[in-house]
Amino acid sequence: MKQGDLILLVSPKGKRYLRRFVPDMILHTQEGMIRFADVAQAGCGGAVTTHLGHPFRILRPSTYDLVKGVKRSTQIMYPKEIGYVLLKLGIGPGVRVIEAGSGSGGLTLALAWHVGDTGRVYTFERRPEFFALSGENLEAVGLCGRVSRFHHDIATGFLPDCHVPGDPLTDPSDADALFLDVRTPWDYLEAAAAVVRPGAPVGFLLPTVNQISELLAAMAASPFEDVEVLEILVRRYKPVPERLRPEDRMVAHTGFLVFARHGGLAAYRRPAPLPPAPGPDNGHADPDAGPDDARAGEDAATD
């Protein structure tokens, strides 16, 4: 365990503490104090007790833990939506993806985690308080190096003021995917189509069916096709073998997702074949040749 590593401490009651490892740090909890020097001795997968004797499990945080642990001043996207978004947009190592707006940075964090060191996330946020908060959350988990953050209103397009053509840090042009979490996404369809590569997947998050209807109407006249509309519900069960049943509450509607693809380039049309060149070697029989000449040509071809 190295200084600065992210660790997750889980109490006996399931409360989670996401922290960076600092050897001389002391964590104060309701169950007592935990010395990080003891955490280092126990290691990930082990357990450490507070000064009151309560055991805490030490774990490596997953992407789920990181997203759930962000500080928030807005409603963040739930992991149930984020997982589907990552798959539908094809997010993986080396992918360049555009996001607007950043909000508290939950989705930004997940995108940055999955594009790896060879990919890039370009995230846009016009409100200064959310721009600052999302930056703090990315810094807390050490993912700022994979993200280009722009305090920019996409009403003027997806090229920020600091844009340098061809610069991988400031030029999101020809992106592999795009996701919009904004109130009126239909206003930005033309700009979105211009900044992604042909055939690229795009996604949208909307809270109401009225907004979906307006987006679908606008998409009918846009370059996007292959449209999908859905919502994702999660129903957990109480893990008690003798009384297995659903929990009293469930994570139901938290937002609608809409996906589509850029329509791509115009259909390729094969050029008309050229007429055969005149001459004896064009593959056609000589109309003046006799039967013997024809048989001789066939024998030569066979040999």
Based on the fold, state whether residues 187 and 98 are members of the same structural domain. Answer: yes
Q: Which of 61, 77, 105 is the last residue of a domain?
A: 61
The answer to whether position 272 is within a domain reads no
The answer to whether position 202 is within a domain reads yes
Based on the fold, state whether residues 110 and 204 are members of the same structural domain. Answer: yes
Mean pLDDT of 178-193: 97
In this prediction, residue 275 carries a pLDDT of 81
In this prediction, residue 265 carries a pLDDT of 87
134-159 pLDDT per residue, tens:
999 999 999 999 999 999 999 999 99
Based on the fold, state whether residues 232 and 103 are members of the same structural domain. Answer: yes
Based on the fold, state whether residues 55 and 70 are members of the same structural domain. Answer: no
Mean pLDDT is lowest, of 118-122, 193-197, 288-292, for 288-292
**Hey, what are 261's tokens?**
């693809």
Based on the fold, state whether residues 135 and 247 are members of the same structural domain. Answer: yes
Asked whether the beta carbons of 22 and 16 are under 8 A apart, the reply is no
Cα separations in angstroms, 166 against 170, 171, 192, 195: 8, 6, 18, 13
Mean pLDDT is lowest, of 55-69, 260-274, 284-298, for 284-298
The torsion angle over the Cα atoms of residues 279, 284, 288 and 290, rounded to 10 degrees, is 130
The dihedral built from the CA positions of residue 42, 46, 49 and 53, taken in this order, carries a sign that is negative
Name residues whose C-beta falls within 8 Å of residue 30's C-beta, 6 or more positions apart in sequence: 15
d(CA 8, CA 93): 25
Helix (H) or strand (E) holding 137: helix 128-141
Based on the fold, state whether residues 27 and 122 are members of the same structural domain. Answer: no
* pLDDT grade for 284, boundaries at 50, 70 and 90: low
Residue 56 pairs in a beta bridge with: 48
* pLDDT grade for 6, boundaries at 50, 70 and 90: very high
Based on the fold, state whether residues 110 and 232 are members of the same structural domain. Answer: yes
The answer to whether position 228 is within a domain reads yes
Based on the fold, state whether residues 142 and 171 are members of the same structural domain. Answer: yes
Based on the fold, state whether residues 71 and 49 are members of the same structural domain. Answer: no
* pLDDT grade for 216, boundaries at 50, 70 and 90: very high
Cα separations in angstroms, 201 against 110, 228, 290: 17, 11, 64
**Hey, what are 257's tokens?**
């997702």
The dihedral built from the CA positions of residue 143, 146, 148 and 154, taken in this order, carries a sign that is negative
Total domains in the fold of the chain: 2
Q: Which of 42, 61, 80 is the last residue of a domain?
A: 61
CATH number at residue 41: 3.10.330.20
Can you spell out the DSSP letters for 171-228?
--TTBSEEEE-SS-GGGGHHHHHHHB-TT-EEEEEESSHHHHHHHHHHHTTSSEEEEE
The answer to whether position 114 is within a domain reads yes
Mean pLDDT is lowest, of 73-77, 186-190, 207-211, for 73-77
The answer to whether position 290 is within a domain reads no
**Position 113 pLDDT exceeds 60:** yes
87-108 pLDDT per residue, tens:
999 999 999 999 999 999 999 9
Mean pLDDT of 226-241: 96
**Position 294 pLDDT exceeds 50:** no
The answer to whether position 149 is within a domain reads yes
In this prediction, residue 30 carries a pLDDT of 92
Q: Which of 33, 61, 89 is the last residue of a domain?
A: 61
The answer to whether position 49 is within a domain reads yes
The answer to whether position 303 is within a domain reads no
**Hey, what are 287's tokens?**
């109309």
In this prediction, residue 300 carries a pLDDT of 47
Based on the fold, state whether residues 34 and 74 are members of the same structural domain. Answer: no
Based on the fold, state whether residues 46 and 147 are members of the same structural domain. Answer: no
Based on the fold, state whether residues 188 and 129 are members of the same structural domain. Answer: yes
Question: Domain residues for 54?
Answer: 6-61
Percent pLDDT > 90 in the chain is 82
Asked whether the beta carbons of 141 and 66 are under 8 A apart, the reply is yes
Name residues whose C-beta falls within 8 Å of residue 98's C-beta, 6 or more positions apart in sequence: 122, 123, 124, 158, 172, 175, 177, 178, 179, 195, 196
In this prediction, residue 75 carries a pLDDT of 77
* pLDDT grade for 280, boundaries at 50, 70 and 90: low
**Position 298 pLDDT exceeds 90:** no
21-55 pLDDT per residue, tens:
999 999 999 999 999 999 999 999 999 999 999 99
CATH number at residue 178: 3.40.50.150
